[in-house]
Every structure is written in C-alpha cells, then in structure tokens.
Amino acid sequence: MVLTREVAVRVSYPLPNNNLVGDIMLVSDAAQQLGMNTQTLRLALQQDKFPFGKAIRTSPNRFTYFINEEALKRYLRGELW
C-alpha cells in the first residue's frame, strides 16, 4: 500500500525549463479539471507523465504531490506539453 499526502499551500515554485511560477494545487482539484480519477493522476505524476506537476517520494511507500496551477491551465489550453 502506498500512502499519499496532498498539499495545498500558497507558495510558488518554478517548473524546469521555463520561468513559469504559480500556486500549488490539490491533486483532487487538478484531477477534476482534467476529468480523470485522482489515483490515475497520482500514478501519472509518479511516472513523470505530465509537465505541470511532480510526485516526490518522501519515504519508501509515500509521495507528496506538487501541481503548478498556472502550468495546468496552460496544459489544458494546449500551450504546454
């Protein structure tokens, strides 16, 4: 079993290879905007499948997720892939 923890903080972080900075959002909110299951999004982030977020392994069976809100908006508009 993999334990997960969602974080919602009002901080900003840059994404690799660009200067985009934005707020971090919950996995559940991002999954809803993408029209996908929350666990599916978590697994995709663990596999580095999306350019708008990261899953950070915090212990052997635990991850923390960071999703850049502005990057997700750009991804949904087709501006980021």
Which secondary-structure segment (H or E) carries 35? none
Chain segment 11-21, per-residue pLDDT in tens: 444 545 454 45
Provide the β-strand partners of residue 65: 6, 55
The tens digit of pLDDT for each residue in 36-54 reads 999 999 999 999 999 999 9
Q: Is 33 exposed, middle or buried (0-12, 13-18, 19+ CB in 10 A)?
A: middle
Q: How confident is the model at residue 81 (pLDDT cuts 50, 70, 90)?
A: confident
Percentage of the residues of the chain whose pLDDT score is greater than 70: 73
Task: Please report which residue ranges of the chain form alpha helices under DSSP H.
Answer: 27-34, 38-46, 69-76
Which token pair is 51? 């350019």
